[in-house]
Structures are given as structure tokens and as C-alpha cells.
Amino acid sequence: MTTKDVGRAARRGPYAKSEERRRTILDAAHEVFAAHGYRGGSLQDVADRVGLSQTSLLHYFPSKRDLLMAVLERRDEITGDAFPDDMEEGLVDSVIRTALFNENIPGVVELYIVLCAESVTDSHPGRVYFTERFERLRKSYALRFAELAAQGRLRPGVDPDEAAMSLVALWDGLQTQWLLAPDEVDVVKGLRGYFNLVVLPEP
């Protein structure tokens, strides 16, 4: 190992440690916001979970808003959060796969539902994130439903834009019900039932 290699390794060490600490803070904030929401969860709650002072925590995330946005970005990384038009698999398969995946990651659905509902309140920092996310989802799903219509696989009378909006609403509603009654509500079954109503089977 050369002197230059040693120098590079030394620089990577503190950076890697800092990134690990950031990830630990994000995981803790994910738990806090999922359990208490953005307004109910405090920076002190997050700091206590990782054994830091609020001052030290703010070294990594300058404000509570910055921490929230980083948590939402982290959530998208965990879920992959790819939209159907970016995927080779069909709309139905991609939605079902994502729904199954999300249910098996602790806290992901809780975080999404809690913060999404809370974002409609005045001056919530996540409002733009969720507004833009819903818009992208509606457009993405509408394109896929339109493709199915062009293939003759969308049932007569089904409008792609309305089908997309209904899918987004149904999925969020099923997830909320699932959180409240996991033994009674089957998200995947509900989504499959919807697709059976609007999409014709492959010939």
C-alpha cells in the first residue's frame, strides 16, 4: 500500500463513519415519525434513540424539516418506489409485487400513511412531496392503463385516468385498513380484485 493509498483510506474512514451515523439517525427518525407523526415526534425523541444530544443530531440534519425530507427519501430508497412506466414488468405484477414488499418491511407502510394524512394540514413540510408523488403516480398508472386499452385488455367503459386515480385511492385506503385490522384486511387480495374488475385477462 502506498502513502497515497493510506491517505485515501484515512479519508474514507471518517466519511464512512459519518454516513453510518446518518443512516442510524434516519432509521430512528423513521420509527419516531411512523409512531407519532411529524408534529408529534420530536428531535429529542430521535436523539434519545441514537444516544446523541439534539445539538449533535443537528450537525447531521440542520432542522427537523431536513430530517423529515431525508426520511422520505430514505423510504423511497427502501421500497425502490419505482413507478410502473419505469419497469419492464406489467402494471398488475408491479403493483402486487410492491404491495407485498412494503408489507414485509417494518414501519414503511405506517410511516407513509401517517405522514401522508398529516401532510394535508397547514404548513406541513411534506405537503409538496406527497402532492407531487400522487401526481406522478396518477400519470404513471394512467399511461399503463392506456397501454392496456390499446392492447384491448381494458374493460369497455373504463377510462385510464379514472382507473389510475381509483387505483391510488384504493391502495392507500387498503393500507390504512390493513394497519388497523391486519388480520381482517388483505391488501393484495383487494388490489387483485380491483384489477379483475377493470383489466381483461391475457388471451
Q: What is the CATH number of the domain that holds 133?
A: 1.10.357.10
pLDDT for 165 equals 98
Name the band, by pLDDT with cuts 50, 70 and 90, for residue 82. very low
Q: Do 101 and 183 sit in the same domain of this protein?
A: yes
CATH number of the domain residue 67 falls in: 1.10.10.60
Name the band, by pLDDT with cuts 50, 70 and 90, for residue 88. low
Q: Which domain holds residue 24?
A: 1-78
Q: How many domains does the chain have?
A: 2
Identify the helix (H) or strand (E) that includes residue 58: helix 54-60
pLDDT for 132 equals 94
Calculate the CA dihedral of residues 165, 31, 62, 129 and round it to 10 degrees: 0
Q: What are phi and psi of 162, to 5 degrees?
A: -70, -35
Q: What pTM value is reported for the model?
A: 0.81
Q: Do 56 and 88 sit in the same domain of this protein?
A: no
Q: Do 99 and 172 sit in the same domain of this protein?
A: yes
Q: Do 162 and 114 sit in the same domain of this protein?
A: yes
Quick one: CA dihedral 146, 200, 194, 103, positive or negative?
A: negative
For residue 147, pLDDT over 90 is answered with: yes
Q: Do 152 and 125 sit in the same domain of this protein?
A: yes
Last residue in a domain, options 78, 112, 141: 78
Identify the helix (H) or strand (E) that includes residue 19: helix 3-40
Distance, CA of 9 to CA of 17 (rounded, Å): 12
Last residue in a domain, options 17, 52, 78: 78
Q: Do 22 and 115 sit in the same domain of this protein?
A: no
For residue 124, pLDDT over 60 is answered with: yes
Q: Do 141 and 157 sit in the same domain of this protein?
A: yes
Q: Do 65 and 147 sit in the same domain of this protein?
A: no
For residue 192, pLDDT over 50 is answered with: yes
Q: Do 70 and 16 sit in the same domain of this protein?
A: yes
| CA 23 centroid distance within chain | 17
- Of 84, 127, 111, give the one whose Cα is nearest residue 30: 111
Output 82 or 173, whichever has higher pLDDT: 173
The single-letter DSSP state of residue 105 is S
